[in-house]
Amino acid sequence: MEHQIRDNVSIDVPSLEAGLHFYGADFGFKELARPFPTMAVLDGGNLTICMHGKVEGTESSEGSGEKRHYTRHWTPVHLDFHVPSLSDFVEKIRANGGSIEREFKSEGPKPAAFCADPFGNGFCVIAESL
């Protein structure tokens, strides 16, 4: 019997409640489970997120020497959210504490924006219309 791989994304945030608010208010993620007090499993319809409340300054992994920080940081791995309207989502992101770093209204095949959540994690919004 072949083993099927199940995928999800994990996001560390300094406050689980703040993370639940941002991703729930902006993208409609619903909490499915709370396996333990500092972790929530969120359902976005076609994506499951495991959100972890992790205190700033704690070690990211044993032996790495890196500490968690929630200032804006770059990583080559990020989420792309496909949405109906760019302007509607840009407004929501800002209203909930996120930031818009660059908007592409006519430079590509679809309107898009480079964004960051209030915890420094970058993501993109790709829209069907402005």
Residue 78 lies in a domain: yes
* Residue owning tokens 């909930």: 96
Q: pLDDT per residue over 35-81, tens digit each?
A: 999 999 999 999 999 999 999 999 988 888 899 999 999 888 999 99
Length of the chain: 130
Q: What pLDDT, in 10s, does the model give residues 16-30? A: 999 999 999 999 999
Number of domains forming the structure of the chain? 1
Q: What is the pLDDT of residues 53-64, one digit of tens each?
A: 999 999 988 888
Identify whether 92 is part of a domain.
Answer: yes
Distance CA 99, CA 62 (A): 31
What domain range includes position 50?
Answer: 9-58+69-129
In a domain, 3, yes or no: no
